[in-house]
């Protein structure tokens, strides 16, 4: 017989998760899987693509009829955009840099749709997605994420900005939105060491970028929008990133919006409140700005 579960805690990282000595993981925010669907109220269609590594959202098209899922449904409806949500693997079961690798893989797969070449279409490992081929303007790509997802968004644009990682002619990341972004402290703390055991040397760049202005100055996107909240425990790191980007010599435009009296990712916890509505309104406006 196996040993009984124990309540002894091995690692405790609120507000993210707790790991017990018997290996169990308790997440403080449980995300319930929502099946893809055709929403009869909004007209938004969704489906899982690329071996379920991402979910694709298509806005209502003439002649066709959980929190993250509902939020993306709302953005797609209000902004009339095609949204692709990356289903990256989560720590602590899958330690970093897995989430970065998964996200980059989806972006690379998406960029291949520009080629429209027969050898891509017929390759078993690369399955082309008609919704992307038929409805996406690849010269106007926005990346957006909240909390750790915002950190990943920044890393993706850094990778895309490196000459050896260009995504091909015609695929242009024009702007990024970072909502309550998670960046590390000036030192690698206990939490970062646990979820990212290889975060020594250059890999620290993914958690603490403010000391590396050269990378910030070379970002290929033209605009950055940062969202903060007054009572967010990560607020100061967002402001530090904002200041570092402005001082880096990057020739793009960076803006910041702070929501007073609110906490980290409040817009997902209370999506119907007035301030969450204002955040979404500003996000939709950002997507519609001229680049």
Give per-residue pLDDT as tens, 43-80. 899 999 988 899 999 998 644 436 778 899 999 999 99
- Beta-strand relationship, 9-13 and 45-49: unpaired
What is the predicted pLDDT for the residue at 185?
Answer: 64
Q: Distance (Å, rounded) from C-alpha 81 to C-alpha 60?
A: 10
Choice among 111, 232, 238, 248 that is catalytic: 232
Percentage of the chain lying above the pLDDT 70 cut:
86
Q: Which domain holds residue 117?
A: 89-288
Sheet holding 223-229, edge to edge: 141-146, 173-179, 223-229, 253-259
Neighbours of 245 (CB within 10 A): 22
Query: What residue has token string 């290889």?
Result: 198
What is the predicted pLDDT for the residue at 198?
Answer: 77
In a domain, 119, yes or no: yes
Mean pLDDT along residues 216-228: 96
In a domain, 232, yes or no: yes
Structure tokens at 203: 């890999």
Choice among 147, 154, 155, 180 that is catalytic: 147
In a domain, 41, yes or no: no
In a domain, 39, yes or no: no
| 134 catalytic residue (yes or no) | no
In a domain, 31, yes or no: no
Instruction: Check which CATH number belongs to the domain holding 267 and give it.
Output: 3.40.50.1820
In a domain, 65, yes or no: no
| 147 catalytic residue (yes or no) | yes
pLDDT digits (tens, 9 = 90+) for 6-18: 789 999 988 788 9
Number of domains in the chain: 1
| 264 catalytic residue (yes or no) | yes
What is the predicted pLDDT for the residue at 246?
Answer: 93
In a domain, 182, yes or no: yes
In a domain, 271, yes or no: yes
Structure tokens at 33: 């899987």
The torsion angles phi and psi of 92, rounded to 5 degrees, stand at -90, -5
Choice among 154, 180, 264, 267 that is catalytic: 264
Structure tokens at 21: 């000595």
What size, in residues, is the chain? 291
The model's pTM is: 0.86
CB 24 within 8 A of CB 50: no
| Strand boundaries in the chain, DSSP class E | 9-13, 17-20, 25-27, 45-49, 54-58, 83-86, 141-146, 173-179, 223-229, 253-259
């Amino acid at each position: 017989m196996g040993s009984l579960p124990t309540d002894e805690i091995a690692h405790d990282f609120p507000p993210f998760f707790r790991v017990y000595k018997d290996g169990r993981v308790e997440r403080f925010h449980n995300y319930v899987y929502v099946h893809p669907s055709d929403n009869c109220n909004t007209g938004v269609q969704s489906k899982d693509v690329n071996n379920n590594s991402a979910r694709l959202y298509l806005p209502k098209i003439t002649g066709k009829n959980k929190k993250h899922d509902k939020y993306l449904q709302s953005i797609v409806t209000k902004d009339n955009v095609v949204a692709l949500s990356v289903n990256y693997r989560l720590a602590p079961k899958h330690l970093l840099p897995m989430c970065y690798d998964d996200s980059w893989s989806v972006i690379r797969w998406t960029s291949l749709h520009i080629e429209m070449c027969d050898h891509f279409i017929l390759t078993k490992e690369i399955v082309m997605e008609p919704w992307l081929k038929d409805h996406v303007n690849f010269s106007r790509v926005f990346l957006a994420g909240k909390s750790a997802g915002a950190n990943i968004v920044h890393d993706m644009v850094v990778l895309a900005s490196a000459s050896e990682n260009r995504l091909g002619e015609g695929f242009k990341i024009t702007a990024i939105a970072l909502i309550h972004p998670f960046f590390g402290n000036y030192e690698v703390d206990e939490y970062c060491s646990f979820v990212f055991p290889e975060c020594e040397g250059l890999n620290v760049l993914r958690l603490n970028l403010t000391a590396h202005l050269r990378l910030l100055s070379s970002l290929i996107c033209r605009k950055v929008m940062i969202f903060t909240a007054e009572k967010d425990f990560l607020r100061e790191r967002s402001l530090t990133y904002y200041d570092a980007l402005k001082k880096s010599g990057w020739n793009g435009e960076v803006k910041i919006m702070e929501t007073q009296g609110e906490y980290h990712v409040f817009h997902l916890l209370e999506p119907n409140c007035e301030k969450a509505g204002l955040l979404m309104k500003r996000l939709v406006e950002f997507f519609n700005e001229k680049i």
